[in-house]
Structure 1
């Protein structure tokens, strides 16, 4: 029997090679930026060398030389990726805020729409000038600012407003607790390196200078369309989802609804991105092909119309980053179809990714960018393979018999068509999950096992709702204008009827999602932690598995087994390290006192102020570290738990002494009375602005312990007492500014 050999057809995928080389160059910048010189001259030299080598190879016409020049071109593309990333990093520029000390005032423009939080508005400012020592000078840099919502009737920041701000921004803070989301790095990926809380008396609006008038008009248009939904979708929950589904405005979606969608794997429904743009493009092309497919020049004018619809929808939704990314992707698809090259979708997607990364190389670390392209690539490759395994229409066609009536035969054909549609939807959902679930585990630490059940019903209904919502937007404003001009109020029944249908569809798929989440509460697997290396191993395992299925070579099966063994070993080693680890953590949680006792896979989190941590504090401050350490058995206790650690209070309302695995911690929250007996401790925690003096502390606890200010202490108190303690020769740690205090009792095997 002949052995079939198959090679990867790189020759037919030149754009794939180029985008992979560009990605490699960008990754080099992320890991080795500090050690790299100015790369632009090197890139210019590399381009000149490549052109000279290419001309020489063309004249010699030797295949091996052509291959060498191709490798040189890929290396040049790698260098281009690193150079583009270097040039895109604003903090390297000499006029950046990092290079501007002692800022008195600065001018900046609002560069984003406002994010509405319970007590504040958050937005991004782009600086144009700063005043230092009485002199104005040009400057650049992004600042993430927050302003209070309920002071002096503060209005929400508007895109394009020009602000004059008093005071200097502070560099963005590093994560303060173990495993906490690195917001500083997230901001840096968006070229934002500073933060500031601005009171209403610190800034004035002095004009309007939007970075993009087109985006300003787009955002104003989106807000006007938001008003249409407010008038015709009366139920608050359905209105919030309508805004998110059609316009991408999620300010009104409550936390419970967001959690319901997250737990069923349907969060993508509430984000205007590739799903909505792809649905618009696909249905439009299907409609045009059905009724106008045989007209002259159909391929070209249908692609032009598709581009017009895609970019019009992007404009109506505020030109958000996710919509722009999807619009660019499908624009390349439309152009490829018009040119007759639609068969090679991998090249088309690679060209789209290449252009996007050239424009903004930091898109590579954007979660939405990663999920979008991986999902589309997986659908393009896997969906036909999975969908082709079952042909429901052919299976039902075999059920037809000559003696059956025409009605029965039509019914059989309709059933086959319906089953085939359901199977293709299942195949599409599975294909998308294959490529995205490792990233879901890495970023979100969870995986919904009910994703297939929820998406199978919710996505089709939400797709119909999207079209009905767009129809409502197209009809409402003209009908309102006609009613106002003619006085024929009965015309408003048309948008009201469409709004009623729209609201009903949203209610249906929302109730279905809630029902699935409640009926299968254990279907959401949570608390999964993957390291970056383990995530890469998962993708390598998927790749080797697909290669084996495609080429049936034992070498790929062996590689897959080796990768699986490596992944399993890394998980076992991580669990072994956690089992041997013991540490005490004093958390940094605003205005709270919290201590964690971590013993192997068990963890106890106590709040000495007897108030339990709320869901937000647990989710964002404590839980990421617990997941990262593999803590499976976690308890939250309000007050002191004397069953897990020895806790006793010294007489006369003195400090509370906690003893755990040989570590002793004193919690001081009031006075230290004269004559307080000395206590040997390792850590002294000062909380609630304890009324103490350095001499008292030194006499009671000595110079050996670390004196920790927890987050319940006011800023003025810490700034006043810290220099006094340091002058007395005592070591000081402020969890609010320096992060949580971690006392390692017994290190893990890897520490």
Structure 2
């Protein structure tokens, strides 16, 4: 028996892998690559010539050569498609105009995210005015506008005239922080701007896609149905997220509870909901008598496609639903063709088409998780189920002399436990493939995922059906209302009853999720830092172990041990490299003054303004850096008490002097009127718009220290004082604009 893959059965898998390799090549080395369109033409011509030669030779070697050249052509095409899809390469991209833009015209091209104080959305630019002249331009801008009285939420298709120039997206402001700039770039958005109400005006309505505009309005109308019939705020928010994918009103506590229990996918309308709809249509069609022949297959395929694409339309044609709809479309078409098709090939075709449409989907976390989970389920679930014959075990408990009631009980028990085992196997199979991504992106792994999903997924799945039924019933009542208002008012009790059932189901699985989180508080392993190479290593270990289980050859087990050794070695090397590392970090946190004293895997985080950090500030600003350094001893101090850092207050003018590892730091928040004596320091931190002047700073500290404007300083204050200091010869750093500032201690070893 050969231990090689028979690629003939996985033709599109091979091509899709080549396409992905080309996309990754451009993502990592794109700036070094020349224009690739000519390379694609050359590779295709070379493949055509090799295919013609192979047809004449009719030898396996010739056919293999043609196949390799086909893979090469797809590889080059993947890099070329990514290059073509990179909008910033355009000659009239916003990057080319810099800060010279006086006005620009743009259209709202995305959903509007409702935040506590702002609306956020994406606009696509069509023209800019530079030096009084309008000219065509392209580019995406992530904009925010305040939620003030009288300010309407942006609507998809609104055309705006905006005054001012957008700024390039900011890099992460603190160590380890989520790289929002890169996330935006993967969506072809390279600029950001906060727009005040007097800076823009809606001048027209021209949706980039009228179909999507209608779909988004439809989703909002359906959201109004849930708002009408689901009265509890938390249950309404979950209802809208579960069925329509609208998560504007889901509170942070609920999001965190679902993340901690590994059930976030329940709130994301994607493969789960589309799969449930596909399953319902398939089940209904299976009830039809005489279901045979090509005609029935065609009719069932058309009904299945109509069902999933109608649902995609009702949810506003969001990206996650479209991705799932495309995946199931290929599955339906493959089944309707009546051919014996390989499921991996079917999934590969779906991924290939999606990546040809948008190569940057490969960077989308949802795309990665969806396809990996489905592939893992297709391959692993049947094998895991085969470990235990649950149904057979309980059916074998039946005996001829047992009563009918007892035999019925054994049958129902076997059916119930077999379904539980099937669901368990599905959850385990999905986790095997998505495990490395969970560590890499979310830095945590919920050990309670099995218990959480085993109950929450079935209940939430039934809730999806009930929610869709509520929408359908309300639609019927509304239709009747067009002809008879009185009859519609009488029949309105039906959606009210369904709404009560729907709300109770959502309450039930939501309470279960919170109970799991409280019952198993230690089941969440968090603070895990995995680099991209380490994530690839984990994937490789999983694949090699699966190969060992399938082939039973010790060589695979030996390779897995080698890979595990490499992973352990990389972790030990990283820990050894960080052990002697000492850093003084001034964090960039809006309206706060925060400094971290780092020594290897230990740190003291001090809030100079004496107010403790909020949970949100810690989670998104500080914790990512802690995870990155794999810190084990981190202490938070409101003010300087207990920080073990020597501080001195020479007067009452708001001056604080701190010394750490030879670095002398002055925190200035007052006038410095009483600090006229020279005080040599290495860093001066200006806080809360400290009323100081260059000559005062020079008299007290000299011109050697670096001047830092911390995040408690207003933008007008920095804009007025920073140029004066720079002209006088000081080095300055603005934490709000430039991000965290890191200073190595004087006594640090060379090279650290």
After TM superposition, the score normalised by the length of structure 2 is: 0.97
List per-residue Cα deviations over 1:610-646 (Å, max 9, x = no partner). Answer: 1122122111111111111111222222111354210
The whole-number CA distance in structure 1 between the counterparts of 2:710 and 2:216 is 43
List per-residue Cα deviations over 1:355-411 (Å, max 9, x = no partner). Answer: 000000000000000000000000000000001111111111211111101221121
The whole-number CA distance in structure 2 between the counterparts of 1:486 and 1:710 is 63
The whole-number CA distance in structure 1 between the counterparts of 2:505 and 2:405 is 31
Match of 2:451 in 1: 453
The reply on whether 1:18 has 2:15 as its aligned counterpart is yes
Match of 1:416 in 2: 414
Task: Decide whether the 8 Å contact of 1:709 with 1:735 is kept in 2.
Answer: yes
Give the 3-state SS of the residue equivalent to 2:402 in structure 1: coil
Match of 1:619 in 2: 619
List per-residue Cα deviations over 1:155-190 (Å, max 9, x = no partner). Answer: 100001111111111111111111111111110000
Given candidates 399, 402, 407, the residue that maps to 2:397 is 399
Match of 2:557 in 1: 557
1:589-600 pair list within 5 angstroms? 589-600=589-600
Match of 1:646 in 2: 646
Task: Decide whether the 8 Å contact of 1:578 with 1:630 is kept in 2.
Answer: no
Of 43-52 and 345-354, the range deviating more from structure 2: 43-52
The whole-number CA distance in structure 2 between the counterparts of 1:207 and 1:42 is 43
1:36-185 pair list within 5 angstroms? 36-101=33-98, 102-150=100-148, 152-185=149-182
List per-residue Cα deviations over 1:677-707 (Å, max 9, x = no partner). Answer: 2223221111111122222222322232211
Tell me by how many angstroms 1:256 deviates. 0.9
Give the 3-state SS of the residue equivalent to 1:104 in structure 2: strand
The whole-number CA distance in structure 2 between the counterparts of 1:203 and 1:253 is 30
The whole-number CA distance in structure 2 between the counterparts of 1:722 and 1:553 is 67
Tell me by how many angstroms 1:346 deviates. 0.3
The whole-number CA distance in structure 1 between the counterparts of 2:706 and 2:340 is 66
Judging changes above 3 Å, is the alpha-carbon distance between structure 1 residues 270 and 118 closer, same or farther for their aligned structure 2 residues?
same
What runs of 5+ residues in structure 2 fail to find an aligned partner? none
Match of 1:298 in 2: 296
Tell me by how many angstroms 1:232 deviates. 1.0
Of 136-145 and 698-707, the range deviating more from structure 2: 698-707
The whole-number CA distance in structure 1 between the counterparts of 2:322 and 2:580 is 48
The whole-number CA distance in structure 2 between the counterparts of 1:376 and 1:747 is 50
Match of 1:323 in 2: 321
Tell me by how many angstroms 1:342 deviates. 5.5
The whole-number CA distance in structure 1 between the counterparts of 2:529 and 2:198 is 44
1:502-517 pair list within 5 angstroms? 502-517=502-517
1:487-566 pair list within 5 angstroms? 487-488=486-487, 489-566=489-566
Match of 2:664 in 1: 664
1:624-703 pair list within 5 angstroms? 624-653=624-653, 655-673=655-673, 676-703=676-703
Match of 2:573 in 1: 573
The whole-number CA distance in structure 1 between the counterparts of 2:481 and 2:83 is 57
Tell me by how many angstroms 1:95 deviates. 1.1
After TM superposition, the score normalised by the length of structure 1 is: 0.97
How many residues are aligned here? Answer: 747
Q: CA RMSD in A?
A: 1.5
Task: Decide whether the 8 Å contact of 2:651 with 2:674 is kept in 1.
Answer: no
Task: Decide whether the 8 Å contact of 1:96 with 1:141 is kept in 2.
Answer: yes
Given candidates 237, 240, 245, the residue that maps to 2:242 is 245
Task: Decide whether the 8 Å contact of 2:606 with 2:643 is kept in 1.
Answer: no
Tell me by how many angstroms 1:749 deviates. 10
Task: Decide whether the 8 Å contact of 2:452 with 2:513 is kept in 1.
Answer: yes
Match of 1:388 in 2: 386
Match of 2:336 in 1: 338
Give the 3-state SS of the residue equivalent to 1:244 in structure 2: helix
List per-residue Cα deviations over 1:131-159 (Å, max 9, x = no partner). Answer: 11111111111000000001x41010000
List per-residue Cα deviations over 1:545-575 (Å, max 9, x = no partner). Answer: 0000000111100000000111111112222
Tell me by how many angstroms 1:295 deviates. 4.3
Match of 1:587 in 2: 587
List per-residue Cα deviations over 1:449-485 (Å, max 9, x = no partner). Answer: 0000010000000001100100110011321443571
Task: Decide whether the 8 Å contact of 2:166 with 2:191 is kept in 1.
Answer: yes
The whole-number CA distance in structure 1 between the counterparts of 2:340 and 2:375 is 14
Task: Decide whether the 8 Å contact of 1:107 with 1:128 is kept in 2.
Answer: yes
Tell me by how many angstroms 1:728 deviates. 2.1
The whole-number CA distance in structure 2 between the counterparts of 1:726 and 1:134 is 32
Tell me by how many angstroms 1:599 deviates. 1.6
Judging changes above 3 Å, is the alpha-carbon distance between structure 1 residues 362 and 747 closer, same or farther for their aligned structure 2 residues?
farther
Judging changes above 3 Å, is the alpha-carbon distance between structure 1 residues 397 and 65 closer, same or farther for their aligned structure 2 residues?
same
The reply on whether 1:712 has 2:709 as its aligned counterpart is no
Give the 3-state SS of the residue equivalent to 1:487 in structure 2: helix
Given candidates 268, 271, 287, the residue that maps to 1:271 is 268
The whole-number CA distance in structure 2 between the counterparts of 1:319 and 1:748 is 56
List per-residue Cα deviations over 1:469-523 (Å, max 9, x = no partner). Answer: 0011001132144357151333111111111111111111111111111111111
Give the 3-state SS of the residue equivalent to 1:173 in structure 2: coil
Give the 3-state SS of the residue equivalent to 1:604 in structure 2: strand
What runs of 5+ residues in structure 1 fail to find an aligned partner? none
Task: Decide whether the 8 Å contact of 1:686 with 1:709 is kept in 2.
Answer: yes
Tell me by how many angstroms 1:733 deviates. 1.3
Tell me by how many angstroms 1:598 deviates. 1.2
The reply on whether 1:211 has 2:184 as its aligned counterpart is no
